[in-house]
Amino acid sequence: MSQGSSAKWQDHASSRRLQSRRLGRFGRTAIVLYTTIVLLIGWSYGAWRIHSDRTVTLDASHQQLATLSRGLASQIEAMVHDGVGAAQAGANVLRDSRRVRDPQQTLGEMLTGGSYVRSLFVVTGDQMVVANAPGENLTRSDATWFDELRSSQMQSWVGPVVTTAADGSLALPLAVRVAGDNGVKSWAGALIRISDLDQIYQGLKASRSTVAIVTLQGTALVQLPLIATNPMNMDVSKSEAYRRFLALPVQPITLVVGTHPVTGEPRQYAISRLNGLPLVATAGRSIEDALQEWRTRSAFSLGFLLFGTVIAYSLAIMLQQQLNRRFTALERSEARFQLAAAGANDGIFEWESDTGLVYCTPRVRELLKVPEAAGSIDLNAVRRLVHAEDLLPVTTAFRRHVEDREPMDVEARLLAGGEYRWFRLRGQTLWNERGEPIRLAGSIAEMHAAVLAQQAIAEARSAELHAKESLARELLLAQEQERKRLAGELHDGVGQNLSLLRNRAILLQRSGLPPAAAPHAQALLDLSTESIEDLRNVAQNLRPLHLEELGVTASLRSLLLKVEQSSDLAVQFRLEDVDDVIVGPAAAHVYRIAQEAINNVLKHAAAGRLYVDVIRDIDCVIIDIRDDGKGFRQQADATRSGLGLLSIRERCSILAAELKVESDGRSGTHLRVRIPVDLTIEHQVDALHGEEDV
C-alpha cells in the first residue's frame, strides 16, 4: 500500500515538474515574442512620428516662404506706388499744354519718391519726357526698352532689369497706360532701383532661401540675394513650378513644389501676386535645406530607438537568464520538498479546485489508514472521515480561509483505522487575480496523544479548581461559624460577667458607701457599662444579628452610619433595596465584601471621602465602592495582597460575581462587584447546603 501510494504521489510530482519545465520554455519564448512585438510597435510609432514630423517641417517651411513672398510683394507695391503714381500725376499735368512751359521741369517737380525712384517718364507717341533724380541721366536713347513699351497692348507694363549708367545699380522700368490727347496712346512710368532690396534680404542666406521678381509671362527678372550665380531676366515659363502655378486657381498666395529651372533640385515655392501689375513675388527653398533640421531630429530619434532596442533585448536576455535560474531553483526546491515530505512525520496534501481531487503524500495515507484501493481522495471522501461533531468547525475554518483569507488551523477527529483520532489540519490557498481559489496545500499531523493529555490536564485543573472553590467555601463557612461561636461565647460568658459586675457596682452605690469610695464605685460602673457596649459592638461585627432580621440593605446602611460616626470619613451612599434578590448566605457574603472593602479604606487609603452605591439592575446587582485616598499600584502590590482582598475575591467567586478593582497609586481606589441576579438564587441554594448554621 505504501509503495503504490508513493508511486501515485511521485507520478503527480513528476507531472508537476514536467508542467513547470513546459511553463519555463513558454515563458522564455513569451519574453522574446513580447519584446519583439513591443519593439515593432515602438519602431512603427517612431516611423510614423518621423514621417509626421517631416510633413509638419515642410508645412512650416512653406509658411515661412509665404511670409517672405508676401513681404517682397508689399515692398515692391510700395515702390511702384511712389514711382508710377508720381509719373501718372505728371502725365495729367502735361496734358494741359497751356499751363506747361517746360514739360521736363514740370515732371521733375513730381519726383518726390524715395531714393529708389531714379527717373520719371511720360511717353506719348514717339515722344518721351524724362525727369531724372540727382545723379541719374536716363534719356530717350538710353531707353532700350522704349519700343517694347510702345508696342505693349497691356494696361500695365514691366520692362527688363537694366543697369543704370550713373552707378551701375540694377533698375526696373514700370509703366501704366494713361489717357492722352486726341486718342493718342500715352504711358506714365518710373525707373525703380531694385538693388536696395538686396540689403533688405541679405538675411536670406542664413535661412537657406531666395526670393525673386517674376513676370506673369514667365521671366524671372531678378533673384535675391544678388549673387553671380543668380541670372537676371531668365525665362522660367517652361519650368515645372511655373506650370503648376498657372494650373492652380488664382489666389493671393500660391504654394507649389517643383524643380529648380537651372539645377533641377526639388524646391518649395510660395508665390504672391502684386496688385495691378503683371508681376509675382516668389520665395523658394530647396527641400533638402528645408529638411535639414528634420534630419537631425530624425537621426536622434532613430538613435534613441536603436538604443532602446538594445536595452530592451538586453533586459529580455537578463530576464530569460533570471527565469532560467528561477525555474532551476524551483526544480531543486521541489526535489528537496519531495525528500523532506518523504522523511517528515506530518502528511502533506494538495487540493486542486478544478478537479476537486486531493493529492497527498504516503504519510497521509499511513496516518489515516486509507487503503490503496480507495484511489484518489476527493473532498466528499475527506468529509466522510471527519467526526460529526467536528464537521462544522472544519468546514467553517475551510470556508473562512478560502473566502475571507483567514489562516486555516483547526483540530478535528478523523476516522483512522476504524476509530476516531485527533489530527491538526493546516493549509494555505493560492488565489488567482479574480480572488478565486486555484489550489490549497497543507499538512496533517496526528495529535491524538497530545489532545488526550491536554484533556487530562484540563480535567485535573478543573478538579483542582473545584477543590479550591470547595475549600474556600468551607474556609468561609468555618470562619462564619467561628465568628458565631465567638460572638455566642462573648455574649454568654464575658457579656454576662460584665453585666453582673455592672449590677454589683449599682448595688454598691445604693448601699451607702463612704464619700471616699463613692467615686470609685461610679468609675467601676462607667467602665463596666463601656465594656458591655464595646463587647456588644465586637459581637455585632462578628455576627450582625440584624442582617437576618432587617436584610442586607438596612445592615449596610447601619454599617455606613457607624463608620461615618466613628471616623473622619465623609460618607456618601445610595442604597437601593435588594433584599428580595440578595438573601440568606448571599446576603452574608455581600455584607462581608462591603465590610472588608470599607475596612481597607479605613486602614490604608488615608481618604477623606467614601462613596458607596448599591444599584439594582435588570439582571444583576452592582456594588460600587470608591474613595479619594492614595490608592495602590496593582502590579506592584499583586504579589502581596492582604487577606481582606483575597477574602473578597473568594466570596465573589462563590457568588459567580465579576470583581473589578481599579487603582493607579495616585487617585484613590475603585472597587466594583457585579452579581448576576439569575445566578444569585442558585448560588444561594448551593451555599445553603454548607452554611445552614452560619
Q: Cell 485543573, residue?
A: 461
Mean of pLDDT values over 428-433: 86
Q: Give the model confidence (pLDDT) of 189-244 as tens digits.
A: 888 888 877 777 776 655 778 888 898 888 888 888 776 556 788 888 888 888 88
Q: If you average pLDDT over each of 11-15, 169-173, 299-303, 402-406, which comes out highest?
A: 299-303
**What pLDDT is attached to residue 17?**
54
**What pLDDT is attached to residue 348?**
79
For every residue of 450-472, DSSP letters joined together read: HHHHHHHHHHHHHHHHHHHHHHH
49 confidence band (pLDDT: 50, 70, 90): very high
**What pLDDT is attached to residue 9?**
44
Q: How far apart are CA 181 and CA 463, in angstroms?
A: 150
Peptide bond preceding 437: is omega within 30 degrees of 0, i.e. cis? no
- Residue 88 in contact with residue 176, Cβ under 8 Å? yes
CA-to-CA dists, residue 691 to 371, 548, 549, 679, 685, angstroms? 62, 14, 17, 18, 10
386 forms bridges with which residues in the sheet? 414
Question: What is the DSSP-derived secondary structure letter of residue 638?
Answer: G
Q: Which residue has the higher pLDDT, 540 or 130?
A: 130
Q: Give the model confidence (pLDDT) of 486-496 as tens digits.
A: 766 665 666 66
Mean of pLDDT values over 162-180: 80
Q: Which string of b and e fits 411-432 if b means at least 16 CB within 10 Å?
A: bbbbebeeebbbbbbbbebeee
pLDDT for residue 374 is more than 60: no
- Residue 626 in contact with residue 595, Cβ under 8 Å? no
Contacts of 1 (CB under 8 A, 6+ apart): 365, 371, 372
For every residue of 548-576, DSSP letters joined together read: HHH-HHHHHHHHHHHHHHHSS-EEEEEE-
Q: How far apart are CA 441 and CA 444, in angstroms?
A: 10
Tallying the residues shown for the chain, one arrives at: 694
Evaluate if pTM is beyond 0.75. no
Mean of pLDDT values over 358-374: 72
**What pLDDT is attached to residue 164?**
75
Q: Give the model confidence (pLDDT) of 335-358 as tens digits.
A: 777 676 666 677 778 888 777 788
Q: What percent of the chain has pLDDT over 70?
A: 80
CB-CB neighbours of 563 under 10 Å: 19
Q: Which residue has the higher pLDDT, 8 or 470?
A: 470
**What pLDDT is attached to residue 667?**
77
Q: If you average pLDDT over each of 26-30, 444-448, 497-501, 617-621, which comes out highest?
A: 617-621
**What pLDDT is attached to residue 691?**
42
- Computed over every residue of the chain, the mean pLDDT equals 79
pLDDT for residue 622 is more than 90: yes
Q: Give the model confidence (pLDDT) of 647-664 as tens digits.
A: 888 888 888 899 999 887
